[in-house]
Structure 1
Amino acid sequence: MADTEGAGRLRLKSLLQHLDRSEEYLACAMLFVLYLMLTFTIVMRFGFSIGYSWIEELSRVVFVWVVMLGAAAAMRRGTHIRLTFGIEMFKGRAGTVARLTGEVLLLAFCLATAWYGLQLILSTLRVSYTLPSSGMSMFWAYLSVPVSFGLQGLRIVMRELGYKAS
C-alpha cells in the first residue's frame, strides 16, 4: 500500500513538473511567434504598403494567450503582486489564518473566473462568433481564460499542499 502511494506521488510530481515546463515552453514559443508576426506585419506595411488584417487578428489572440500563460507561470512561481502588509501585521496563528483566508479567496476567484470563462466559450460556440478577417473562432481567444485561471487555481492548491514548483 505504501509503495503504491509513493509511486502515485512520484507520478503526480512528474506530471506537475512536465506541466511546469510545458507551460513555459508554450508561452515562450507563442511570444516568439508573436514577434515574428508583428515583425512581418511592420515590414510588409511600411516596406511594401501591404497590410494583412488577419495577421493582426491572430497576433491579438496569441498576445492574449501569452499574457494568460504568463499569469499562470507567475502564480506558479509566487511572483504575483500581493498585499502582504495586512498579513504581516498578524503573527503566529492569526497570520496563518489571514494568509489562508487570502489563499481561499484567491482560489475562489480563480475557480469562478475559470467557470465563467468556460460559460463564455460555450456561448461563443452556440453563436459561432468569429473574427472578421481571418474567420477564426473566438473560442481560441476565450479558451485562454479558463485554461489560465484553472492553472492558477491548481497552483494555489499545490502550493498549499507543499508542492515546490520547478
Structure 2
Amino acid sequence: MSAALEAGDKILNSALRVAAVVLVLGMLTVVCGSVALRALGTVVFGADELTRLLLTWTVAVGVVLGAREGGHLAIEAVTDRLTGWTRRSVLGLGAIVSIGFLLILTWTGLQYAIAGFTRGAPTPSLGISTGWAALSWPVCGFLTMLYVLRDLVAGVTVGPPDPPDDAEVSGLV
C-alpha cells in the first residue's frame, strides 16, 4: 500500500474509532438518563428516536471497522479445507459477491437518504430528517466496499492467509 493510502487509512481508522466511542457513549447516556428520569416520573422527549439514530450509526461504524480489521460473518467450514488456487478463487468470488451487495446497499441507501432529506417527513419527536438515519447505509456500504476491495486485491496479489490449524482454532496457541 502506498504511503498516501496508508496515511489516509490511519486517519479514517482514527476517525471511525472516535466516532464509535462517541456513538456508544451517547447511546449509553441517552438510554441510562432516560431510564433514570423515567423512574423519577419524567419522560425524556425524543429519547427513543435519538437512541435508534445512534444505534443505526453505531452499527454502520462497527461494520466498517470490522471490515477494516478483516472481521466478518463467515461460515468457514468449506474455505478452511481449501488450499492454493481453489481457496483464492472461492474467497475472491465471495469478495466479488460482497462488493455487488455493497454497491446495491450504497446506491439504495443513497436514494433513501436523498429522499429523506428532500421530501421525507421529519421524525415525530425530534423533528429531524429521516435522511440522517438512512445516510448510514451508503456511508457504511461505500467504506466497507473499499476495505473488501483492498482485501480482494491483496488476496489476488499475495494470496489469502492460510486457514488456522486445529491448535489455533482450539485456542492452544
| Counterpart Cα distance in 1 of 2:21 and 2:14 | 11
The equivalent residue for 2:25 is 32
The residue identity in structure 2 corresponding to 1:138 is T
* Alignment partner of 1:60 out of 52, 61, 86: 52
> How big is the shift at 1:54?
1.1
The structure whose RCO (Cα within 8 Å, separation 6+) is larger is: 1
The residue identity in structure 1 corresponding to 2:16 is E
The residue identity in structure 2 corresponding to 1:14 is A
* Matched positions, count: 155
User: Are 1:16 and 2:3 matched, yes or no?
Assistant: no
Give secondary structure in 2 for the equivalent of 1:159.
helix
| Counterpart Cα distance in 1 of 2:88 and 2:72 | 19
The residue identity in structure 1 corresponding to 2:3 is L
TM-score by length of structure 1 reads: 0.86
| Counterpart Cα distance in 1 of 2:103 and 2:16 | 19
The equivalent residue for 1:101 is 93
The residue identity in structure 1 corresponding to 2:138 is P
> How big is the shift at 1:93?
1.2
Q: Is the 8 A contact 2:79 2:90 kept in 1?
A: yes
| Counterpart Cα distance in 1 of 2:154 and 2:3 | 14
Unaligned runs of 5+ in 2: 156-173
* Alignment partner of 1:86 out of 75, 78, 87: 78
| Counterpart Cα distance in 2 of 1:112 and 1:122 | 15
TM-score by length of structure 2 reads: 0.83
The equivalent residue for 2:153 is 161
> How big is the shift at 1:89?
3.7
| Counterpart Cα distance in 2 of 1:121 and 1:66 | 17
The residue identity in structure 2 corresponding to 1:36 is T
The residue identity in structure 2 corresponding to 1:94 is T
Q: Is the 8 A contact 2:115 2:131 kept in 1?
A: no
Give secondary structure in 1 for the equivalent of 2:46.
helix
Show CA shifts across 1:122-147 (max 9, x none).
22223232110110111111111111
From the two aligned structures, give the one with the greater helix fraction.
1
Q: Displaced runs of 4+ in structure 1, greater than 6 A?
A: none
Give secondary structure in 2 for the equivalent of 1:53.
coil
> How big is the shift at 1:90?
3.0
The residue identity in structure 1 corresponding to 2:112 is L
% of aligned pairs identical? Answer: 21
Give secondary structure in 1 for the equivalent of 2:71.
coil
* Greater displacement, 114-123 / 152-161: 152-161
Show CA shifts across 1:21-63 (max 9, x none).
111110111100111111111111112x111231221111011
